[in-house]
Amino acid sequence: MQRDNRRWPNNANVAVLVTVMFESWSEGKAPPYSPMTTVLKPGTVDRLGVSWSEYGGKTGIWRFMRILDEAGIKATVCISGKSVELYPEAVEALGKQGHELAGHSYTQDTVLPYLSREEEREVIRRCAKILQGATGKRPAGWFSPVAAPTEHTAEFLVEEGFLWHGDYNDTDLPYARKLAKGTIVAIPHSDFTDNRVIRGSPRDFCQVYKDTFDFLYRSETTAMINLTVHAHFGGRPLMSAMLAEVLQYMKGFPRVWFARHDEIARWVLNSR
């Protein structure tokens, strides 16, 4: 692996990005996963699944805000355009607390590779317009549903003035990606989001990130952890307890930079 000789601000060893997925689905649609072990027949409306998904906007996102406020950490919230429309009070509160709001398609089931080229461009533009209308400023970043971009996504984002793009897993650290019409910062996605333990033990999530943090902190001078949780799952007490614990653990060390994605992206561009 090629070493990165750049150093984070204030000579931090590890940059920790707290990423919150705040998602909504189309009417009558539910997430393709849940703690339920019985799958309904295709074409049946999963009303419990729909209810499960709505927890994020009604309850989970507010618990996240309390946890992050107590820890003094600003997160990046990747939000569906529909979530912006459905939960304006939460969007306003997130902005007041200083969290970054990033585009995350209109609904979680609006998956970009399933769209035509023009449909994809329009979804990106629509989401940028919705976020700008709600917050008063253009979003700086984008993360695609199920981390699935197309060959056009990065170029469309550059055209719309986005600063960073989160659909990458080819390296550990962010980097500038030069495209025909400009440059965008590629930010690696998490290797272990909260829903990896959906039918296991939430304690595994906490242990994975403690172990990863310990390894990077002692062995590398410029490392990054993208700690990703979902409002409709991670926002529940059984997972939020683990998030609070691991954040407090990391806060106990010096030389740790808790950064929003837009801050990381600007650091990348300024350090070239």
Confidence tier at 109 by pLDDT (50, 70, 90)? very high
In a domain, 35, yes or no: no
The pLDDT tens digits for 218-269 are 999 999 999 999 999 999 999 999 999 999 999 999 999 999 999 999 999 9
Confidence tier at 146 by pLDDT (50, 70, 90)? very high
C-alpha 55/C-alpha 242 separation (Å) is: 18
In a domain, 3, yes or no: no
Say if residues 90 and 57 touch (Cβ distance below 8 Å).
yes
Of 33-42, 60-69, 133-142, the one with minimum mean pLDDT is 33-42
Q: Which residue range(s) make up the domain with 157?
A: 9-30+44-270
Number of structural domains, the chain?
1
Report which residue type is found at 163: L
In a domain, 74, yes or no: yes
Say if residues 110 and 145 touch (Cβ distance below 8 Å).
yes
Say if residues 145 and 111 touch (Cβ distance below 8 Å).
yes
Q: Does the CA dihedral 196-225-190-110 come out positive or negative?
A: positive
Say if residues 131 and 101 touch (Cβ distance below 8 Å).
yes
Task: State the chain's mean pLDDT as an integer.
Answer: 96
Pairing mode, strands 223-230 and 76-79: unpaired
The pLDDT tens digits for 63-75 are 999 999 999 999 9
Find the CATH number of the domain harbouring 86: 3.20.20.370
In a domain, 114, yes or no: yes
pLDDT over 90, % of the chain:
92
164 Cβ neighbours under 8 A, 6+ residues apart: 140, 141, 142, 174, 184, 185, 186, 187, 261, 262, 264, 265
Say if residues 262 and 100 touch (Cβ distance below 8 Å).
yes
Say if residues 20 and 83 touch (Cβ distance below 8 Å).
no
| Per-residue confidence (pLDDT) for residue 1, from 0 to 100 | 43
In a domain, 263, yes or no: yes
Confidence tier at 35 by pLDDT (50, 70, 90)? confident
In a domain, 4, yes or no: no
Whether pLDDT at 41 is above 70: yes
C-alpha 18/C-alpha 61 separation (Å) is: 13
| Per-residue confidence (pLDDT) for residue 3, from 0 to 100 | 57
In a domain, 118, yes or no: yes
| Per-residue confidence (pLDDT) for residue 43, from 0 to 100 | 86
Whether pLDDT at 39 is above 90: no
Q: Does the CA dihedral 102-108-112-116 come out positive or negative?
A: negative
Average pLDDT in the 24-45 region?
Answer: 88
Whether pLDDT at 33 is above 90: no
In a domain, 38, yes or no: no
| Per-residue confidence (pLDDT) for residue 40, from 0 to 100 | 86
Task: Give the H/E segment covering residue 186.
Answer: strand 182-188
* Residue with more model confidence, 156 or 36: 156
Whether pLDDT at 37 is above 80: no
Of 37-46, 75-84, 236-245, the one with minimum mean pLDDT is 37-46
